[in-house]
Amino acid sequence: MIQSILIANRGEIAVRVVRACKEMGIRSVMVYSEADKDSLAVRMADDAVCIGPAPASESYLKPKNLISAAVLKRCDAIHPGVGFLSESPGFAKAVADAGLIWIGPPAATIGMLGDKVEAKRSAIEAGVPVIPGSDGPITDVADARKQAKKMGYPVIVKAASGGGGKGMRIVRSEDDLEGAIKIASNEAEKAFSDGTVYMEKYLENPRHVEVQILADSYGNVVHLGERDCSVQFKHQKLVEESPSTAVDEKTRAKMGKDTVSLFKSLDYVGAGTIEFLLYEGQHYFMEVNARVQVEHPVTELVTGIDIIREQIKVCGGEKLSFSQDDINVSGYAVECRINARTPGRITEYLPPGGYGVRIDSFLYPGYMVSPFYDSLVAKVLTYGRDRNEGLDRMNRVLDELVLEGITTNCEEQKRIINHPVFRSGAFGTGFLEQIEEEA
């Protein structure tokens, strides 16, 4: 059993993991950059160690610093959180080579899934529906033109590595294809040090729906239902909910079956997510996130499963304590991501409360929100017996939230939650562009 965990991350996910450790009786050790020395996670953890200057490239993205800190503090395991090195096969391997437990899937699995071309091949082998696309990386523009013509425009050129919308270009005519390939490849090279790109049929305004899983090292894989992540701006998720209004029981059962089939074929261990695009009644494989997701609390609220706790247990060698038949998705949950538009010092912070409310954050009055890192400062979640109750509660909660000293997207989130199209449940990934045009 794991006795001590080094948390190789920061912000709200670090606080989340510290809390799980405390409940499990596991000693928690936080790493921090010079900019994060006063962070809430550092204050909460049992121990902490500085790993470098403020820039992530000199601290949170330094594998040697993180592993040295774990060895120095006599930790058994490293939890990578989300972002940073959480999906780095090199880091996962280095952790294992140092004799530490990696709280995530094996390095080889991460590496394969990080290559979207290889991940798509694995999905096809597991019988999971995939979006029509190129057979592999684009290496010849003339061949790409032939394949695009066969698929039919529009198509999308995508980076084989990374994510977050980088290295992606939508192409609506043959005249624009060559230029889009060059731009996407250059952008991917700068962002991920890998200029490899591939091509898929572009689905106009689909739904973006993902399925959460937990898997142990004994071959057991359980899915925990779906989350709808269709409300996005420039491919960055803003609102997540479960269950999805776009998924009927037949589709839900098929998605669950496909998800379990794929993850079993991967010999996967830990928490993970498969992302699908839903289009005209069909679900298509998009990618796998080989880590816990930012939006995992949505699933926790509707299933009652502590995903972080279970992730730590299975990566520590324990069997899943439940089977698929034990999973019951009940009620409705929604998460709004509160992002800082500007850095600054928090002058006042009063999180909302009441029945069916959960706040995951790292803020406190006097805390300095740094310009060096991701803009996410809080995840506001509500639970209801049904979607209307959950959304009405979220509307109240966003009104109740007091957060001063920085500017945030809170007002935008209110507008989304109360928009008639969102309330109707009939929307796609182009929904926010629609709102922008109305404003």
Q: For 4-103, CATH number?
A: 3.40.50.20
Cα(242)–Cα(332) distance, rounded to whole angstroms?
6
Same-fold call for 4-103 versus 207-438 = no
Mean pLDDT, the chain, as a whole number? 96
Q: Is the dihedral of CA 341, 344, 350, 354 positive or negative?
A: positive
Q: Calculate the alpha carbon distances from 121 to 124, 128, 286 in Å.
A: 5, 10, 11
pTM: 0.92
- pLDDT one-digit tens code per residue, 308-320: 999 999 999 999 9
How confident is the model at residue 439, as a pLDDT? 62
Rounded to the nearest 10°, the torsion over CA 99, 217, 85, 115 is 130
Short-list 84, 60, 109, CA closest to 315: 109
Mean pLDDT value across residues 35-39: 97
294-297-299 Cα angle (round to 5): 110
Q: Which amino acid is at 194?
A: D
Confidence band, pLDDT 50/70/90 cuts, at residue 191: confident
For residue 283, give the amino acid letter: H
Out of 3.40.1350.10, 3.30.1490.20, 3.40.47.10, 3.40.630.30, the CATH code matching 132-201 is 3.30.1490.20
Q: Is the peptide bond before 243 cis (omega within 30 degrees of 0)?
A: yes
Q: Judge whether 385 and 332 are in contact, CB under 8 Å.
A: yes
Compute the radius of gyration of the chain from its Cα atoms.
21
- The DSSP secondary structure of 277-297, one letter per residue, reads EEETTEEEEEEEE-S--TTHH
Q: Where are the domains of the chain?
A: 4-103, 132-201, 207-438
Confidence of residue 116 (pLDDT cuts 50, 70, 90): confident
Q: Which residues are catalytic?
A: 291
Long-range contacts of 419-422 (CB under 8 A, 24+ apart): 422/231, 422/239
CATH fold for domain 207-438: D-amino Acid Aminotransferase; Chain A, domain 1 (3.30.470)
